[in-house]
Amino acid sequence: MSIEVEIAHVFRSYFNGQKSVKAEGKTVGECLNDLSSKYPMTKNMIVDSNGNLTNRFEIYLNGQSTYGTGLFTPVKEGDKIDLVYIIHGG
């Protein structure tokens, strides 16, 4: 399953400057793991070394938060993932 992941302008340098990238997987978690293998700079950035979503990121699927089902959220062809980075500070 090939899913589109939209990359915010501020993160494009992690993804070779691309606006969106393709990720393979049947769930959000599998797609994110695929991303970190294709783009090593993102390793442990979104999903930590224990396989959990870090508390810095919220993942949106087709504009809806995946709170609740999280990394186990199933995806299908044509879906779009957004990576949202929120920290306190500033």
Residues that bind other proteins (CB under 8 A): 8-11, 13-14, 41-45, 48-50, 52, 54-56, 58, 60, 63-65, 67-68, 82, 84-90
Token output for 11: 């993160």
Cβ proximity to other proteins: between 1 and 69 the closer is: 69
Identify any residues that bridge with 64 across adjacent strands, giving them in sequence order. 61
Cβ proximity to other proteins: between 2 and 67 the closer is: 67
Report the C-alpha dihedral over residues 66, 47, 22, 3, rounded to 10 degrees: -30
Token output for 14: 């992690």
Least separation in angstroms between residue 5's CB and other proteins is: 14
Token output for 74: 């199933």
Least separation in angstroms between residue 60's CB and other proteins is: 7
Least separation in angstroms between residue 21's CB and other proteins is: 16
The number of beta carbons lying within 10 Å of the beta carbon of residue 43 is 13
